A = this chain, B = another copy of it.
Amino acid sequence: MAVLRVAGVGAGYFSQFHVDGWTRLPGVEYVALCDTDAGKAREMADRFGVPRVYADAARMLDEMRPDLFDIVTPPATHRALVHLACERGIATVCQKALAPTFEEAQAIVDDAERAGIPLVVHENFRFQPWYREAKRLLESGTVGTPHSIAFRLRPGDGQGPRAYLDRQPYFQKMERFLVYETAIHFIDTFRYLMGEVRAVYAQLRRINPIIAGEDAGYIVFEFAQPRAPGWSSTGGHGEPAIAAQAASAATGLFDGNRLNDHASDNPRRTMGEMWLEGSAGVLRLDGSARLWWKPHQQDESEHRYDRGPDDTFGGGCVASLQAHVARHLAEGKPLENSGRDYLANLRVQEAVYRSSAQGRRVEID
């Protein structure tokens, strides 16, 4: 396999996970890092042994000619940065949020398609090992016919006047916060596990008056009709406890607030708890990334699986996404969350904000 030469832009808080991931990945050479703040780029480069730093992204791309451009900058900069890659025909991975508005996200996707470059949105939550395992259990029929998913998000970092300042201070100023910044991960993860979203209702609010956007809310999801693999299963543990119901589509619930925390040695590992329920029982994710399986009317017990490293973000999901992209580029394996696919998440996100503003259920076009 030829070496994949990666150059990145953005040396802010989350960049460390990207650079760490790429520099550990076999078959990848991380050739340069760019930031308009050259000091920050230099610091990050020194930490991970990156050979070159730049303050200008166009110059970096021209001089280094990477195979892949990894964008880890604020959303407002994405359109121009992706365009640099389009002009040069360089495959690109762009962090979420893809853009400040839906229209701009769409323009970025159009730009990449016109240029014929692969564009992937770096949406890493679905690559967290617990969701990969949950998906496997769904597809193997263990859960039976799934009918509900719920996530309680409680990172506990949003209290008081200094909320978010130490790590991601711009969180305080975002007009759209909980959904745009955080719940978007669960919109994507719910779609990954349960299929497309047909309609939503949302009730969003701000509890901490110090910030600009919403920091708490409920989102009710209605999923489209069950799809083939696993969804029409008769259950992996004997006969299904509920008769298969073609007419009953699954539903989902996101219950989030950033003020309270949950039982966990690291409340940012899973950021909360999940329940995935079907005719055969309940699969539960706890705050230590353990999965628990409760067969219907039997005792709950731990379902052991590889939770990934506990000393990096989200069980190593950044590196897993990077490996997924590298495999796609090297071997043509199917790609998750191409820019075009990712617009489905943003359509749900827009429906969520509209629903909360209008106090009504909103169907997704």
Contacts and interface: CB of A to CB of B under 8 A. Distances in A.
B245 A209 contact: yes
A336 to B, nearest CB: 28
A222 interface: yes
Interface string A211-246: 000001010101000000000000000000111010
A208 B245 CA distance: 8
Contacts of A203: 201, 220, 222, 251, 361
Nearest to A257: B148
Chain A interface, >50% SS class? loop
Interface string A257-299: 1011111000000000001010101100000000000101101
A296 to B, nearest CB: 7
Interface string A50-70: 000000000000000000000
20 contacts: A147-B259, A148-B216, A150-B255, A154-B282, A201-B203, A201-B220, A203-B220, A203-B222, A207-B242, A207-B245, A207-B248, A208-B242, A209-B243, A209-B248, A218-B218, A259-B279, A261-B282, A262-B294, A359-B360, A359-B361
Interface of A: 147-148, 150, 152, 154, 156, 159-161, 199, 201, 203, 205-210, 216, 218, 220, 222, 241-243, 245, 247-248, 251, 253, 255, 257, 259-263, 275, 277, 279, 281-282, 294, 296-297, 299-300, 359-361
